[in-house]
Copies of this chain bind each other. A is one copy, B any other.
Amino acid sequence: MSQIPTTHPRYISLMLRERLVGGFRHGIVVPQGLIAHGRGEMFDYLLGERTTKEARAASKAAAALLLKAERPVISVNGNVAALCPEDVVRLSILTKARIEIGLFHRTDERVSKIEKLLREHGATEVLGFLPDAELPGLDHMRALCSKEGIYSADVVIIPLEDGDRAEALAKMGKKTVAIDLNPMSRTARNATVTIVDEVTRAVPELVLNVQDMKDNPEAARLALEKYDRDANLKKVSALMAKNLRGFLTPK
């Protein structure tokens, strides 16, 4: 299965899938994570497997939010760790954001494996192994977080986050940046900024935008001012609907 020819029309998608299955075999990804990835694949297919204009606009707004943040945190789960550990570490270094592991299906073993993986990719500080706080309104295992991490963060990046957790963060008054391929998900609809894009494309794009805007506060201000989450999600959804229709129309 890792012998996928580079000429295969769906090469990148198949390689990401293999990366995830690899993460699964190493105990980083859970079976439910594989199913969730499949759902995402489908949305990405409808997106045309590319970063849209809307995703670029959202990414700029997200970068602006990050640049204003005082205590930014990147929440990392098994799928994110398996798919793009380097990019997550790069983003955290660039924005001085802490990395915290937050798992929907939490076990200490899985947290420590993910921590090890992130450290191998250059992370110096990884929170989450010893949670000492809880997000209000969630059942205990899913509420666990770190006091100096997510709990006291002002901006939280939540790639591929569960809807309940995303809602809980919003209710705490935190600003959140969701990276989610489903424009209809609760996560997408509850975040301050939602980037509808595949995570391995979205994180590098976010890194680029942070670099671009670092010394250009006016561009950052404008990007955030122009961004309208619901209008953005609506456009993405319309694009997916159009593509879905188009796939069946004879060329």
Residues of A within 8 A of B (CB): 1, 17, 20-21, 24-25, 31-32, 34-43, 46, 105, 182-184, 230, 233-234, 237-238, 240-242, 244-245, 247-249
Tell me the minimal C-beta distance from A49 to chain B in angstroms.
13
Query: Chain A interface mostly helix, strand, loop or mixed?
Result: helix
List 19 additional contacts besides A34-B35, A38-B40, A184-B244; criterion CB under 8 Å: A1-B32, A1-B105, A17-B32, A20-B35, A21-B32, A21-B35, A24-B31, A31-B31, A31-B34, A35-B38, A36-B38, A38-B41, A42-B182, A184-B248, A237-B247, A237-B248, A240-B244, A241-B245, A244-B244
Contacts of A37 in B (CB 8 A): 35, 38
Q: Which 7 pairs show the lowest CB-CB distances between chains A and B?
A: A38-B38, A35-B38, A34-B34, A42-B42, A241-B241, A184-B247, A38-B39
Q: How far is the CA of A20 from the CA of B31 in the complex (A)?
A: 9
Contacts of A36 in B (CB 8 A): 38
Tell me the minimal C-beta distance from A167 to chain B in angstroms.
14
Contact of B233 with A237 in the complex, beta carbons under 8 Å: no
Q: How far is the CA of A234 from the CA of B238 in the complex (A)?
A: 18
